[in-house]
Chain A
């Protein structure tokens, strides 16, 4: 069964600090992996997409890494801001174009405190 596990479930950090969110998956065959940010009361918004051949990708203060061999990804947030408070969702897609091409993690809820 395709699964995406995220850790931690929730995290509280102080403004200005760095943090790393983890995503482990068992999806196969792997196509790509996305990180979404979901602000409270809003729909998810894509932060970054990584394909099989990519190890690192940055989007401003967000840096995603991918290790396709160990099936792990991380999202590193540098110099956190209050606006980073949100849920971060890891989404993995399979290579086949079957009915369920996406598997969603349940998310990590990040709270940045002043």
Chain B
């Protein structure tokens, strides 16, 4: 998985609780992304980062926030988890831009009860 780790790999939480997912890369790539993947949908971009402290929203950003304080780490936070946020979350990286080949992490399976 191209030097990308995600933690935790699995998480069960309750509605209304905050949740933070972590993505860590060892490739020194500039761009990092958070996607969610749900049955019947393609991967959908939540947020992405184009450098330390530089982030922007994707198409499904409501209810999510991100932070990137170091090149290698990109955090995704669900401020108050809802059942609609039950999904598989993938982190991805690319070297120079969103149009380049993206390398994906192993995913985090999140269940919100």
Contact = CB atoms under 8 A, between A and B. Distances in A.
Q: Give the secondary structure class of A's interface.
A: strand
Interface stretch (B14-22, B39-47, B79-87): B39-47
B8 interface: no
A44 B99 contact: no
Contacts, number: 56
Interface residues of A, number: 24
Interface in A55-83: none
Given A42-B106, A43-B107, A100-B58, A31 B42 contact: no
Nearest to B4: A43
Interface of A: 4, 31-32, 34, 41-46, 49, 89, 93-94, 97, 99-107
7 cross-chain pairs, A with B, having the tightest CB-CB distances, nearest first: A43-B104, A104-B42, A101-B98, A104-B43, A93-B99, A106-B42, A101-B99
